[in-house]
Amino acid sequence: MRHVETVMGVPMSIDIRDVGDHHAAADDAFHELRSADELFSPYRPESELSRVNRGELAPEAIDVRFSDVLALAERFSVVSGGTFTLRDTDGRLDLNGIVKGWAAQRAADLLRSRGLRDFCLNAGGDVIAAGGPAPGRRWHIGVRSPEFADRMLAVFSLADETIATSGCYERGSHIVDGRTGLPAGELASVSVISADLTTADVLATTVYAMGADGVRWAAERYECAILAVTDSGELIDGGDLRRALAVER
């Protein structure tokens, strides 16, 4: 079964290959994603994020999920030397660089808690590939070219792994280097493969903001594989990327 909804302004899908009717589990997973959007959206005036930015909530009144994500984002900001930023150019708290991956990982964890083992959750291009589409097979996840929307930059063969991509080709220069406060522009796209989508999502954003030097930085500190493309079209890889490239399996 395949379940599709628009959440956080992007299409999200869950492709479940486990035998049986799993509509209830998929509905609960999407409820988890919608709940995260209601909590963290900077575009909803009633969201917890918007209320915190307006100074309407005392610390003891803040949702524990909000506090957990904020603490996690702060740790990534410290380890990246401030490159990963929690604030927008106006100084307001903005957790978009971590929320989608965090929410999708929670949704996938919920599906696993219901006994599902073979599914692919695609959260607007950030993907959790659990198990495989059929016995003995892996999920093949394509990453589009930042220059040509109808071409694949690479196809990865994944099982029980995640991949997140950051780039400027759809939303423009929206990722800011927290060290300078300026939009990042050295790279066209960054894809990160990791066991956990929260980590993959944050690293994709951080490496994109750091530029080419960020590939080595991430590969040396985290168990991940990285594929980056510069504005001039040069490919830069980090970690054990080649083992994830799709071959017939």
49: confidence class by pLDDT, cuts 50, 70, 90: very high
pLDDT in tens, 156-168: 999 999 999 998 7
pLDDT at residue 171, rounded to an integer: 57
Whether the predicted pLDDT of 147 surpasses 90: no
Q: Can you give the residue range of the structural domain that contains 26?
A: 2-244
Whether the predicted pLDDT of 155 surpasses 50: yes
Average pLDDT over residues 36-43: 96
pLDDT in tens, 97-109: 999 999 999 999 9
pLDDT at residue 219, rounded to an integer: 96
Q: Let me know: does 116 contact 22? Beta carbons within 8 Å.
A: yes
Do the domain assignments include residue 59?
Answer: yes
Instruction: Please state, in angstroms and as integers, the Cα–Cα distance from residue 2 to each residue in 16, 59, 103, 119, 201, following that order.
Output: 6, 40, 19, 9, 23
pLDDT at residue 174, rounded to an integer: 74
Do the domain assignments include residue 249?
Answer: no
Whether the predicted pLDDT of 150 surpasses 90: no
Distance CA 145, CA 229 (A): 9
Determine the straight-line distance between the first and last CA of the chain, rounded to whole angstroms.
Answer: 23
pLDDT at residue 149, rounded to an integer: 84
Q: Let me know: does 244 contact 209? Beta carbons within 8 Å.
A: no
- Compute the CA torsion angle 197, 130, 155, 37 (nearest 10 deg): -40
Average pLDDT over residues 115-133: 97
pLDDT at residue 185, rounded to an integer: 80
User: Mean pLDDT score of the chain, rounded to an integer?
Assistant: 94
The DSSP bridge pattern shows strands 119-123 and 152-158 to be: unpaired
Distance CA 61, CA 135 (A): 47
Do the domain assignments include residue 6?
Answer: yes
- Compute the CA torsion angle 128, 131, 137, 138 (nearest 10 deg): 20
Average pLDDT over residues 9-31: 96
Of 80-89, 142-151, 155-164, 209-218, minimum mean pLDDT range: 142-151
The residue behind tokens 């063969």 is: 157
184 or 99, higher pLDDT? 99
169: confidence class by pLDDT, cuts 50, 70, 90: low
- DSSP state at residue 15: E
CATH number at residue 44: 3.10.520.10
Q: By C-alpha distance, which of 37, 50, 31, 32 is closest to 10?
A: 37
Do the domain assignments include residue 116?
Answer: yes
Do the domain assignments include residue 172?
Answer: yes
Do the domain assignments include residue 90?
Answer: yes
Maximum Cα–Cα distance across the chain: 55
Q: pLDDT exceeding 90 applies to what percent of the chain?
A: 86
Do the domain assignments include residue 99?
Answer: yes
pLDDT at residue 36, rounded to an integer: 98
Q: How many domains does the chain have?
A: 1
Distance CA 228, CA 246 (A): 17
Whether the predicted pLDDT of 248 surpasses 60: no
172: confidence class by pLDDT, cuts 50, 70, 90: low
